[in-house]
């Protein structure tokens, strides 16, 4: 359950591929001869972003360099980074103060954003070669129309060749070999909630992957971080599966909240649109041997975590929350609403078609890394019988399109929005949204066991202060939770035995029955309540310590390790207010709001905890 996500390798889009892939590939193939290489990083039709890499291919160090070029189609550069730029076509770039000195064999890369049509111009300069093997030579032997090109998306041997299954021990396999699940969620494409005061998109819901590189960082130069860099880093840390949340609107390349005009990433890494960003991410992950779990995270990019069902309608659970500006009472996925509510209609038919579309991605994108589909995030607003029927329909739809992927099913909650109680065992432990599989003991899902992953979500006080965290020494706090517990000045106690008994009857017992059980989400601020939203810090400031969620997370990992249960950590990126991530964040709600979206390092203790979990369940 995400309370709020507020936003304080890029590849060419399809159109660019259709008309300019020969130039792009030629430019790359010519880098053996050229010392200056021009590459279009992003093209959105009315403008583009490009990089130029300068390499000192001499035998001596240089202390400065320059590059010149001219556009024949009238493009105009609007801003640049890592370089001093002069001229108005032709342009001259000279090194910045930090990248002028180049040892033999070393390189410097700078970039810029421009309006107009993209092209690959001829480069001149102090380190630019005039080798006759011009990189735009049309006789380049790596002609992309070569029918043997292994990345050709129409190649019938591409995509969907890997078979993912669950074995008799409840372990996920990839082509028959056990695949240990070392997973984290990398979010943003499902939508975020912009501030009401945002200059260009107040209260918007842009669908943009967080990449740690915003347009205002480093005096608008950006941080230099790329998706490829992050993939390299998390893979080296042990991640082999990325859970990728999306919304139905992410699949619409024309949705206004999926366009560059509302994006906040730096131009050097800014996507063409949300749909293209999704496809590009999957393909880049495939090249990096990282598998993908696609997650339909809500019925709407505006509603996000609140939804709980396909046709969600207001009022939502945060409607009466104090000191909270991120409400969405004016949006709905259901049609039975009053005036003043924007309807983004969603229903079972639309949902099943979206699932079919995701199931076809392996073939359509020519990739082998679609491990599974998480069919709907935290369906807390259904009874078990309702959700069971929907999940079984989802399996049928996915299986008709792709028989090689796994179907991930989350649990329900403790009650629905109309007050209907969902059985969950002992009343002393309340399940998180998505955690409750209690009724599956008597009413199991009719989905083949070798295709099914049971995927509960569970969180500690950093996300939701539940009644099982109350101090028994305060009888007046019995049964309280969330804001009510804070107002009553209730202490927090992490009772691992009580927690484990709840996890066991909510989902753990299914592991003993041979099901694959993989937590779809868990995580939190290790130093809660010191970190997170200011309202939370203030509300819980009376607590004497700040290690409550750290204790909770480690109690969960102890339980998972004992049960051989695997999981996906929320999240890899740190922009979730109530959890943080596996990267540290320059942002501080009180002292550094401009640091939003800038990643500064690794959350070492969290990584160590995950390594302990991974070591407990090796291949």
- DSSP for 529-568, written as a single string: TSSS-HHHHHHTTT-S-S-HHHHHHHHHHHHHHHHT-EEE
φ/ψ of residue 396, rounded to 5: -60, -45
Burial class (CB in 10 A: 0-12, 13-18, 19+), 364: middle
How far, in Å, CA of 514 to CA of 502, rounded? 19
If residue 164 lies in a helix (H) or strand (E), which one and from where to where?
Answer: strand 164-166
How far, in Å, CA of 397 to CA of 354, rounded? 10
Are 503 and 458 a contacting pair, CB within 8 Å? yes
Burial class (CB in 10 A: 0-12, 13-18, 19+), 392: middle
Q: Output the six-digit token pair for 548.
A: 């409550």
Q: Which residue has the tokens 């009772």?
A: 495
- DSSP for 74-128, written as a single string: --EEEEEESEEEE-SSSEEEEE-TTS--B-TT-EEEEEEEEES-------EETT-
How far, in Å, CA of 210 to CA of 599, rounded? 10
How far, in Å, CA of 325 to CA of 401, rounded? 42
φ/ψ of residue 447, rounded to 5: -135, 135
- DSSP for 440-472, written as a single string: GGTS---S-GGGEEE--B---TTT---GGGB-T
- DSSP for 585-612, written as a single string: ES-BTTTBGGGTT-EEEE-HHHHHHHHH
- DSSP symbol at 208: -
Sign for the CA dihedral angle at 115, 120, 125, 127 comes to: positive
How far, in Å, CA of 82 to CA of 62, rounded? 17
Nearest to 432 by CA among 378, 391, 495: 378
How far, in Å, CA of 120 to CA of 454, rounded? 50
Are 427 and 466 a contacting pair, CB within 8 Å? no
Q: Which residues have CB under 8 Å from 522's CB, separation 6+? A: 457, 458, 459, 553, 556, 567, 568, 569, 570
How far, in Å, CA of 431 to CA of 413, rounded? 6
Query: Looking at the annotation, which residues are catalytic?
Result: 378, 521
φ/ψ of residue 84, rounded to 5: -105, 120
Give the number of residues written for the chain: 619
Distance of CA 152 to the CA centre of its chain: 26
Q: Output the six-digit token pair for 78.
A: 């609007």
């Amino acid at each position: 359950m995400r309370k709020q996500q507020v936003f304080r390798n890029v590849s060419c889009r399809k159109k660019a591929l259709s008309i300019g892939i020969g130039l792009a590939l030629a430019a790359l193939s010519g880098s053996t001869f050229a010392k200056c290489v021009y590459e279009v990083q992003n093209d959105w039709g009315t403008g583009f972003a490009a990089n130029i890499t300068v390499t000192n291919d001499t035998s001596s160090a240089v202390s400065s360099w320059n590059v010149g070029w001219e556009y024949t189609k009238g493009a105009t550069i609007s801003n640049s980074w890592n370089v001093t730029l002069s001229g108005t076509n032709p342009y001259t770039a000279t090194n910045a103060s930090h990248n002028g000195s180049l040892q033999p064999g070393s390189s410097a890369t700078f970039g810029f954003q421009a309006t107009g049509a993209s092209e690959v111009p001829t480069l001149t300069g102090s380190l630019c070669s005039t080798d006759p093997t011009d990189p735009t030579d049309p006789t380049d032997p790596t002609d992309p129309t070569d029918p043997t090109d292994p990345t050709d998306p129409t190649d019938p041997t591409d995509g969907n060749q890997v078979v993912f299954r669950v074995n008799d021990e409840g372990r996920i396999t990839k082509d028959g070999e056990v695949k240990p699940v070392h997973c984290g969620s990398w979010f943003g494409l499902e939508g975020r909630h912009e501030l009401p005061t945002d200059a260009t998109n107040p209260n918007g819901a842009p669908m943009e992957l967080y990449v740690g590189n915003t347009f205002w960082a480093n005096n608008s130069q950006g941080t230099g971080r790329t998706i490829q860099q992050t993939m390299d880093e998390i893979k080296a840390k042990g991640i082999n599966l990325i859970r990728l949340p999306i919304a139905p609107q992410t699949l619409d390349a024309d949705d206004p909240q999926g366009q560059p005009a509302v994006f906040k990433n730096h131009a050097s890494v800014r996507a063409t649109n949300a749909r293209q960003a999704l496809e590009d991410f999957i393909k880049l992950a495939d090249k990096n041997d990282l598998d993908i779990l696609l997650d339909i995270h809500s019925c709407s990019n505006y509603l996000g975590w609140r939804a709980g069902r396909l046709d969600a309608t207001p009022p939502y659970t945060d409607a009466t929350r104090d000191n909270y500006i991120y409400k969405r009472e004016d949006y709905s996925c259901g049609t039975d609403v009053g005036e003043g509510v924007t309807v983004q209609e969603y229903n079972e038919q639309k949902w099943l078609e979206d699932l079919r579309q995701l199931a076809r991605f392996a073939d359509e994108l020519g990739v082998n890394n679609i491990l599974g589909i998480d069919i709907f995030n935290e369906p807390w607003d259904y009874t078990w019988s309702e959700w069971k029927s929907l999940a079984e329909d989802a399996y049928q739809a996915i299986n008709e399109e792709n028989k090689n992927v796994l179907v991930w099913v989350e649990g329900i909650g403790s009650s629905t929005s109309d007050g209907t109680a969902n059985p969950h065992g002992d009343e002393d432990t309340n399940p998180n949204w998505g955690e409750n599989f209690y009724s599956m003991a008597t009413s199991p899902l009719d989905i083949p066991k070798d295709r099914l992953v049971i995927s509960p979500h569970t969180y500690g006080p950093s996300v939701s202060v539940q009644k099982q965290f109350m101090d028994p020494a305060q009888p007046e706090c019995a049964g309280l939770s969330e804001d009510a517990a804070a107002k009553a000045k209730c202490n927090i106690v992490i009772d691992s035995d009580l927690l484990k008994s709840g996890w066991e009857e909510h989902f753990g017992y299914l592991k003993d029955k041979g099901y694959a059980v993989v937590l779809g989400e868990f995580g939190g601020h290790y130093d809660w309540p010191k970190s997170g939203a200011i309202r939370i810090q203030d509300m819980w400031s009376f607590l004497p310590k700040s290690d409550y969620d750290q204790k909770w997370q480690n109690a969960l990992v102890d339980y998972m390790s004992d049960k051989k249960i695997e999981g996906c950590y929320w999240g890899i990126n740190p922009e979730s207010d109530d959890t943080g991530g596996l990267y540290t964040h320059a942002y501080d709600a009180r002292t550094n709001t401009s640091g939003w979206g800038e990643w500064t390092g690794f959350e070492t203790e969290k990584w160590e905890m995950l390594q302990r979990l991974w070591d407990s369940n090796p291949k």
